[in-house]
Amino acid sequence: MADPTIFCAAIQPVCGFINQAGLPAATARRFSSFACIERNHRLLRKAKEDLQAIKKMVRGQVDLETNNLNECDPRVDLWLKRVATVLLDPIDQECDRLMQSSCLCRSVVGFGKRYSLGKRIAELLEDLAGLIEEGNQFKTFASKRLPEFVEERPRTQTFGIEPVLRDLRKSFDSIDVSIIGVWGPGGVGKTTLLNTFNNELKTWGRDYQVAIMVEVSNSGTLNKAAIQRTITDRLGLPWNDTETEEARARFLAKALSRKKFVILLDDIRSKFQLEDVGIPTPDSGSKSKLILTSRYENVCYQMGANQSLIKMEYLEKEAAWELFRSNLSAKAIKAKSHLSQTML
């Protein structure tokens, strides 16, 4: 069997002659990839080890960031996928098999296989060099995860609110309506209505960029900071405790004005200016929507719900009876479960 190492050493002067003769670099590379396949294979193994080490470092940084709920940089993610593909290439096994073949230097078939494999090794070396350089240049590995379009609200059983929900959907779909008011006495289910509608937006409200539900309940003094904090968190923006409410309101209004939003304000007891908390008043031009609930009809009017006002009343007898039976059944099931655990 011919010794591949002797073959490579013997052919090296020819490679040097090709380079000195000023032949095209491509020609020299092709001949070198054929003649010095063993040397290139050793370089390939070393490059794979270097790439594995860099991959381990990058993956560690990504895991650290994702543990903090950040999102992997798309460029880093693409790099990791490319690295995984390259490292799975079976070229090492193919090269070992070819080196063990007795026909390596004694047949046309052997020379053909050597040339094809040598070319692949040379190309793979270039790919590995590019990936190593790219991996060493990463400075950031992740970014803050963008908030979900809809933040899921607590799901509760609904009885008798379907007609109101249909009216709300109809008003919401109207291009002429920007502010919708829902009013009715306390305990009638307005919060349940908004929670249900908010969750529905996840499946059919994709035309919008963000939905934000805010619990206002300004029976006393309006808590502007709490409302601003909710909006800030949903937009994924930084919170600055030293910033004044006025400055923060201007900043939030500018951020929201760049988005097509749905804001749901629950339990407004008295009128306030939307701009004072950082909510730009939606109109047909912005195509954003504001839905608010209140115990008082006049508050809905004062907040701008002039084109769409929905009254929500206490459950009808049949729906109320279903709710009563549901609550009774739930309590019975809970009591039965507790009794069973006590007897065990």
Q: Residue 231: in which H helix or E strand, if any?
A: helix 224-235
> 102 and 214 share a domain?
no
> 168 and 136 share a domain?
no
Q: Residue 265: in which H helix or E strand, if any?
A: strand 261-268
Q: Residue 321: in which H helix or E strand, if any?
A: helix 317-343
| 322 within a domain of the structure (yes/no) | no
Alpha helices for 162-210 (secondary structure H):
162-173, 190-204
Say what the pLDDT of residue 101 is. Answer: 60
| 124 within a domain of the structure (yes/no) | yes
Instruction: Using alpha carbons, select from 220, 159, 179, 149 the residue that is nearest to residue 309.
Output: 179
Say what the pLDDT of residue 102 is. Answer: 47
Contacts of 33 (CB under 8 A, 6+ apart): 40, 115, 118, 119, 121, 122
> 137 and 193 share a domain?
no
Domain end (from 110, 144, 178): 144
| 328 within a domain of the structure (yes/no) | no
> 255 and 136 share a domain?
no
CA 163-206-277 angle, to 5 degrees, is: 80
Cα separation, 251 vs 121, in Å, equals 56
Q: How many CB atoms lie within 10 A of CB 106?
A: 12
| 94 within a domain of the structure (yes/no) | yes
> 29 and 110 share a domain?
yes
The tokens of 35 are what?
């003649």
Question: Into how many domains does the chain fold?
Answer: 2
| 327 within a domain of the structure (yes/no) | no
> 69 and 9 share a domain?
yes
CA distances from 126 to 38, 41, 78, 113, 116 (A): 16, 13, 18, 20, 16
> 210 and 304 share a domain?
yes
> 183 and 296 share a domain?
yes
CA 2-6-7 angle, to 5 degrees, is: 70
Taking 70 as the pLDDT cut, the residues of the chain under it are 1-36, 69, 96-112, 146, 157-159, 205, 218-220, 315-344
- Show the domain range for 246: 162-313
Per the CB < 8 A criterion, the answer to whether 189 and 312 are in contact is: yes
> 54 and 83 share a domain?
yes
| 318 within a domain of the structure (yes/no) | no
| 93 within a domain of the structure (yes/no) | yes
pLDDT digits (tens, 9 = 90+) for 302-335: 999 988 999 998 765 555 445 455 555 444 545 5
CATH number of the domain at 197, please. Answer: 3.40.50.300
> 301 and 217 share a domain?
yes
| 340 within a domain of the structure (yes/no) | no
> 180 and 295 share a domain?
yes
